[in-house]
Amino acid sequence: MPYEQLLSETALADERYVVMTAENRALVRNMPRILGNRFIDTGITEQTMIGAAAGLALRGRIPVVHALTAFLTMRAFEFIRTDIGIANLPVKLSGFIPGFLSDANGPTHQAIEDISLMRGIPHMEVYAPADEDDLEQMLPAIWASPHPAYVRINTRPGSFKHEPFEPGKAELIATGDDITLLTYGLMLEQTLLAADILRGEGKSVGIVNMRSLKPVDEKAILQAADSRLMVTIEDHFLTGGLYSIVAETLLKHRVTANVLPFALKDKWFKPALLPDVLQFEGFTGKQIAEEILGYEVGRESVRTQPNEFAE
């Protein structure tokens, strides 16, 4: 089901929902007609929109707010943190063109630190659907939660039929002894291609679609650490995204592992159309598989049992 249809059905069934945008209408073009005065376009005013969403939530509304992810999560960051985070209001942030999806727009439009920023806000939940089907599985539970939530919106059609969603749970697509690929969002498509190539080379390959980055599925991460190599694949800065989440989780549970990250290492990506970006930055399934095959697993991962002081 397309995003806009799901949103309109949800809002029509429950009067508490209001749909807001900072004049980004790509996802909500028909909402003025469908929702009347429960559609609010504040113009290009991300900060004012977030403050107004907090006010609407104070009156019992559930605002689903829209803007390009870069401007939603960064221009309005302090408003999100202060007006929505401190008050723990159920405002649902729909960020458009996250990660590589901003293709030829340039660094001003690249949201590749959004996961890092949003998960740093107490109460804020963070989700990243892999494609349109995944989005449809995930959004009803996200919108029904009493907490604020940020969603990396991805409406691209996918080839994969996803399982039902539960917040805090990853989707375990496959398990493997040699390599486990952990990913989220847009990069699942290339991850599936990489897995096919690796299997063709005789490797036993696990695949995890993280879906829920906060709360995160710690069990899925710890299970992945049982394979000889863990690989994190994300269109995000290395700092603060899935690689960081994996590191935090392993450290918390006193587990060491071989982890190979695919992420943007302290740089913005080269702007161009999406297929060219993937190729240039080394994020195609083929390039990922080749780099994994060339990676030497130095030693068997050491799994340390939690001691008496650990949780």
Partner 1 sequence: MLFSTEQHRLLEEKAFTVRQHIIRMATGGGCFIGASLSAADLLVYLYSGFLHIDKSSLDHEDRDYLFLSKGHDVPALYGTLAEAGIINRERLQNHLSIDDHIYWHPNTRVSGIEFHSGSLGHLPSVAIGVAMDIKIRQGNNRVICILGDGELNEGTCWEAMLVAQAYKLDNLVFVVDRNQFQANVATEELIPLEPLTDKFAAFGAAVQRINGHDFAAIDKAFSACTPQGKPHVIIADTVRGKGLPSIESRADRWFCNFSGEEIDQLLAELDGSRPALLTSETLVVR
Nearer to partner 1 among residue 2 and residue 107 (C-beta): 107
**Residues 76-115 as x/- pattern, contact with partner 1 by CB under 8 A:** ----------------------------xxxxxx------
Question: Which of the ranges 17-25, 89-97, 158-166, 226-234 carries the binding residues for partner 1, by CB under 8 A?
Answer: 17-25
Q: Which residues pair with 218 in a beta bridge?
A: none
Give yes or no for residue 265 binding partner 1 (CB under 8 A).
no
Q: Which DSSP category does 35 fall into?
A: H
In angstroms, what is the minimal distance from the CB of 167 to partner 1? 31
In angstroms, what is the minimal distance from the CB of 13 to partner 1? 27
**Torsion 295-185-149-95 (CA) sign:** positive
Give yes or no for residue 204 binding partner 1 (CB under 8 A).
no
* R_g of the chain computed on alpha carbons: 19
Nearest to 52 by CA among 27, 33, 76, 35: 76
Is the peptide bond between 215 and the residue preceding it cis, with omega within 30 degrees of 0? yes
Q: Which of 86, 279, 304, 310 binds partner 1 (CB under 8 A)?
A: 279
Pairing of strands 212-214, 125-127: antiparallel
Phi and psi at residue 292, to the nearest 5°: -65, -40
Question: Which of the ranges 164-172, 173-181, 224-232, 269-277 carries the binding residues for partner 1, by CB under 8 A?
Answer: 269-277
**Residues 24-63 as x/- pattern, contact with partner 1 by CB under 8 A:** xx---------------xxxxx-xx---------------
Pairing of strands 92-96, 149-152: parallel
Q: Which of 247, 271, 291, 303 binds partner 1 (CB under 8 A)?
A: 271
